[in-house]
Structure formats: C-alpha cells, structure tokens
Amino acid sequence: MRVLVITGAGVSAESGIPTFRGEDGYWRNFSAAKLATPEAFERDPKLVWEWYSERRQRISNARPNAGHEAIAKLARQADEFLLVTQNVDDLHARARLANEAMVQIHGNIFVTRCSCCDFSYEGRGGSPEPPVRLSKGGRLRSIAPTSAQNEDIPRCPECAALMRPGVVWFGERLPWSELQRVENYLDRGTCDLVIVAGTTATFGYIIDWALRASRCGGELIEVNPEETPISQFATQLVREPAAIALPRMVDAIVSFSHR
C-alpha cells in the first residue's frame, strides 16, 4: 500500500495547539493568520517573536495525541509512506514518525534563522536564544541587538540582520529541498490511499498534491469536522475530530491488511 497523508493545524488542536483560523486563531486579539506574515515581522518583529516564543513554549509542553500516534502507526504499516504536514510543531516526530517519512512543508518552529543570509540553528528554548559562536578569526563575536526597540531579538552572527523563526510565512516560497521531496514521492507513483486531515486546504499546492496522488483511483479521505475545498473531491468524508477518527481508520486498515 502506497500512502500520502497531509495534515494541518486541526491535527494538533487536540494537543492544545491553537489553529490559525476559526475561533482559537487569535492571540492578544491579533489574528494568527496575520501574525504569520513577513509584513507583520517587518512592522513589529518583537510582537511576532513574542507570539512564536509562546507557541514554542506551548508546543514543548504539549503531547502528541491519538491522531499523531495513528499516523505513525499507518507509516509503519504502509509499503511506501509520506506525511506532508503544514504544522511547524514537532508532535508528529514525537509520536515516533521518522524524519524520512515526513516533510514539514512550512518549516520547523524550533529553528531560528537569519532574515537575510543562510545562518540558522535549532533549539527548543521558548525565546530565540542565539548560540555563542566564534567568528572566523576565533574571537567571540557580539550578537547583541543594536536597537532598543528590538533589544530582545537576536541578530545574526554572520551578517547582523534580525533572526526570525524558521517557518514559512504566508506569501513566502516553500523550502526547495522539502518541495523536491514531495515532488519526488508523487513522481514515483500514485497512491492507494490519501488522507487529508485537519486543514482548511487554503493553499493550491495542498489540493494539487492530494489530487495528483489519488488520481488513478486511490481513496481520498478527508478528516475534518468542517467542509473545505478538498471535500468536493474526497471519496470519503469523515466529519469527526482527527484524534477520534484517525485511530479507528488506521486500526481498520491494519486489521484488513493482516487478513
């Protein structure tokens, strides 16, 4: 069985991570969908970092739910498997889904990267603490911020630009290497089973990947309490929370394939 699973914020909702849209998509009265933009960072980097720091903290304290566990179980069962997640949290990984089986197409919240050059680092801290680095000459290089307004925001030790979260913001290009991994998987063949769970599927590429993967008669199952642009193409609609529906679906698939 060849499987593609696509997930969005709804899959982590039951772990207590707020989604982007809908009722819980607000933080201090700011819309999450508007904070996750290059424009918001340009206007107020401190505010955007505060939001991401809180999100990092919340994710660190959260646990994978039964939906994450079910997807990892399906991966172990399938002959070929890829998860494409729009989630920047690490809950799929903490449910023991291997890195090779997963593409985080919108990046990783625990990565901090330079807003100008390629410098980046990964760390689980709640705030964007920069690592202490030696400059090329072997001397400690200051990464102290220069403006009082942005004094809590680290600057790049290579080029002194502001550091930012290692996530893809609305309107930004997808990371090339991760995009290639998805394209390679789709080019190698269509899927018997495609599950799209917990996403509003706002982006055309999400719909495109789901349709391409299922185009030769594969099942396209949507797991979402609400209707989305994917719904009209689905061969099966499961209008339930992911943490309830996915374990049941995966158990049924596993017991069927053991017959």
Contact stretch for ligand OAD (CB under 6 A) within 39-47, 140-148, 150-158, 218-226? 218-226
First to last CA, the chain: 14
Binding to ligand OAD (CB under 6 A) within 16-55 occurs at 19-22, 25, 33, 36
What part of residues 227-246 is at the interface with ligand OAD (CB under 6 A)? 228, 241-242
89 part of the interface to ligand OAD, by CB under 6 A:
no
Using the minimum distance from each CB to ligand OAD, give the nearer residue, 163 or 246.
246
Q: Are strands 107-114 and 102-104 parallel, antiparallel or unpaired?
A: unpaired
CB of 160 to ligand OAD, least distance (A): 26
Comparison of 41 and 185: residue with beta carbon closer to ligand OAD: 41
**Does 15 sit near ligand OAD (CB under 6 A)?**
no
Answer yes or no: are the C-beta atoms of 182 and 203 closer than 8 Å: no
226 is a site residue for ligand OAD (CB under 6 A): yes
Of residues 163-202, those binding ligand OAD (CB under 6 A): 168-170, 197-200, 202
Could you tell me which residues come within 8 angstroms of residue 56 by beta carbon, excluding any fewer than 6 positions away?
A: 109, 110, 124, 125, 126, 127
Closest CA to 5 of 185, 197, 138, 239: 197
Q: What is the CA radius of gyration of the chain?
A: 20
Closest approach of ligand OAD to the CB of residue 20, in Å: 3
Per the CB < 8 A criterion, the answer to whether 118 and 164 are in contact is no
Task: Catalogue the E-assigned strands of the chain.
Answer: 2-7, 26-27, 30-31, 80-85, 102-104, 107-114, 120-122, 163-167, 193-197, 219-223, 236-238
CB 231, min distance to ligand OAD, A: 10
Q: Which of 68, 92, 106, 258 is catalytic?
A: 106
Annotation marks residue 92 as catalytic: no
CB 122 within 8 A of CB 108: yes
- List the one residue from 8, 130, 166, 218 that touches ligand OAD (CB under 6 A): 8
Which residues lie near ligand OAD (CB under 6 A)? 8-10, 13-14, 19-22, 25, 33, 36, 86, 106, 168-170, 197-200, 202, 223-226, 228, 241-242
Q: What residues are annotated to the active site?
A: 106
